[in-house]
Chains A and B, each alone.
Chain A
Amino acid sequence: GIQVEQSPPDLILQEGANSTLRCNFSDSVNNLQWFHQNPWGQLINLFYIPSGTKQNGRLSATTVATERYSLLYISSSQTTDSGVYFCAVELVGNEKLTFGTGTRLTIIP
């Protein structure tokens, strides 16, 4: 089946720092989403980005579908950015999300 790998698994940063999270996937996809799982377990939609680049405030994401990777950028980190970030993909012809193992981000004040 499709492999979805995220790196790094853990990231600890000072408030104000910038970070880049990576998602590699092993096959062609119709859908790629980035989520933030907050401390209460809720999955918050960040980006729906099967290809191209999008920005939303301090967050931006880029997916290069031909090279099978996506990047999530967080600038000027805040403590509220802490949590686990998941990448999830939907294979062509397979209408369900396969999740990566996540990146746990901890922002220290």
Chain B
Amino acid sequence: DGGITQSPKYLFRKEGQNVTLSCEQNLNHDAMYWYRQDPGQGLRLIYYSQIVNDFQKGDIAEGYSVSREKKESFPLTVTSAQKNPTAFYLCASRRDNSPLHFGNGTRLTVT
């Protein structure tokens, strides 16, 4: 089955450590997205990528970094510079103007 895989589902880190969240898709989609969701809140755009080796900042990019070396993969690194990293992180992809397909998310807890 085609889809988007986010791993791990739960992730725990100590404050001050960088952590990388994985997002892989086998839908042959060009565009990929990372969103952050805090409890009871909507989705906020962190980064997005239209094609390989290109990505753009979203509304809350500070403290995050991404790479897009392969079409299928769009990993997100939460750096120690991110002041409040504990959140639910969602990855999505789409082709052209089709609707977004979302993964099941990674819940990151930093203590």
**Do A and B actually bind?**
no
Residues of chain B touching chain A, judged by Cβ–Cβ distance below 8 Å, are none
